[in-house]
Every structure is written in C-alpha cells, then in structure tokens.
Amino acid sequence: MNKRRTIYKGFNKRRKNRMIKIYIVGASICLICGYALIQFKNNNMFNNIKEKVTSIELKIPFIDFKKSDKNGFETFDYDDVSKEIDEIKEENNKVKNDEVKEEVKVAQVKGWNVYTIQVASVEDKKEISEIEAVLSKEKVPFSTIEIDGVNKVQTYVSFDKESIRNYLENIRTLYPDAFLAEVKMPVLSLEYTNKYSYLETISEQLSSLIDNFELESKLWTNNKDNLNLKEYNTILTNRKTMVENIEKEVEQIDYEGADGFKSNLITYLNNVDRNIEEASKSANEQKYNISEGIFLNSLQGYLAFINSI
C-alpha cells in the first residue's frame, strides 16, 4: 500500500514538471515571434506590401489587370463600370438606329417619250439662223438643241406620235429631209438615305412637272386653232408653283457628291421659269407658234439636264 502511494506520488511530480516546461517553451516562442513581427513591420518590404494592399478598391467585380511595378507587385483595380455599360448599350442602340437611317433607298422619276419633227442637224451657226428665219416666217414652232456638238433644229412636239405625224408632210415642203423623231427621256433614279429624304420629294415633284407638260401637250393637240387661254394660263401657273417648290427642295442639297446634279437642275428650273413668263406673254398676244416653240424648248431642256448628270 505504501509502495503504491510512493509510485503515484512520483508520477504526479513528473507531470507537474512537464507542464512547467510547456509553459516556458510557449512563452519563449511568443517572445521570439513578437520580436520578429516588430522587426518585419519596420522593414521596407512590409511597407510596400501594405501600400499595395491598400491600393485595392472594391466596388464591383470588373478587373483591370495592370503591369507590374518595380517591386514586382501587380495591382488590381475594381472600377465601377455601370455607367460605361449603360453608355455602351446606348451607343449600340444608336449604331443600330444609324444603320437603319443609312439604309439606301431609290427614288425614281418616270421615263417618258415625246415626238418631234427634226428639220436639220448642222454645225454652222449661220445656217441655223437661216433655217430659224424661214420657220419663223412660216409661223412654225421650233427650237434648237445641241447634242454632242451638233445643233438639231426641231419643230412641233407632242406626247402623241400620230398628232405630230400630221405635220410632217407640210414641213417636208420646206425641208424635204425632215423626219419624225422620237425623243426618249430615260428614267431618273436618285439614291438617298433618310438624311437626304428631300431627294424623294424632288423626284415626286419632277414627276408632277412631267404630268404638267403632258397636259400642255394635249392642249396644243386639241385646241391649236382656238387655244383656251384660261386653261393654258392655269397650266402655266401650276407649273410655276411646281418649279418654285422644287427649287426650295434643291436648295437643301448639301453634300459634295450632288453638286453637279444640284447646279444643273437649278439651271434647268431657271430656264423653265423664264419660259413660263415668255410663253404666257406670247399666247396672250396670240403668237401661238412662239408659245409652242417655247414648250418644245422646255422639253429639250429636260433632256439636256438628264444628259448632264
């Protein structure tokens, strides 16, 4: 019994000594780590790491990778790009809208044909003057147009072929080589985008002008000997309004590629406007051959305009 107590007593003593050793070792490790931490904190490397860590801004997870600095560290900036995303969406929508706006459209002015009697095709201006003097004396309507450097003297004009054929034999008594000529006015196509939509308006108004020409043609065919001046002046008044409206639209043309089209169309419209005044004046003075000759000149002018494009 006494022996057993002695054994337990020794065991308890050894256990107390072990615990004391553990405490001593633990305290020593804490002292060492504390000292090392203080030294490391004072070191430049720790300061650099601290600076790098504090440079990170957390906003939303959109990472912008940057190059390493001289110490070999990389910074990752988390930027708030919600505004940029909205702007990108808005820009994409704008691009889509622009694509729709930039869709190329085509406006067309219808093609049409007229018929006339050509009495001469010459280059000598003196000869032209002599021919025109004869036609004026015979009260035959006429107008001269230059095509490819050659002057073509033409008389009478109509949208109806047979009505012109009726004059052919009489003209041949003056100029045996006279012949019936068909003048084809080609379709005029204008390509445009929404930004230049006024080109569509111009094409529609030019088509209306052609319809107006056709009305005058019928008037000359049906009432040559007894012209209805009221109806004739109404046609000319409507034409003048059309010309003014087209001119307003043409003034809007503001891009370099259409400069030629713009200037040539303005030249033609100015000529038609002058012809309206002169034709009205001559008709009211019963100089019908002059008025009809001016009508022919306006149609020839349209062909010259088309050929200039």
> Structure pTM?
0.67
Instruction: Over range 7-19, report the average pLDDT.
Output: 48
Which residues make beta-bridge pairs with 146?
A: 151
Cα 140 to the chain's mean position, in Å?
A: 47
What CA–CA distance (Å, rounded) separates 266 from 104? 25
pLDDT at position 205 is: 96
Which residues make beta-bridge pairs with 121?
A: 152
- pLDDT band at residue 53 using 50, 70 and 90 as cut-offs: very low
Which of residues 277 and 40 earns the better pLDDT score? 277
Cα 15 to the chain's mean position, in Å?
A: 99
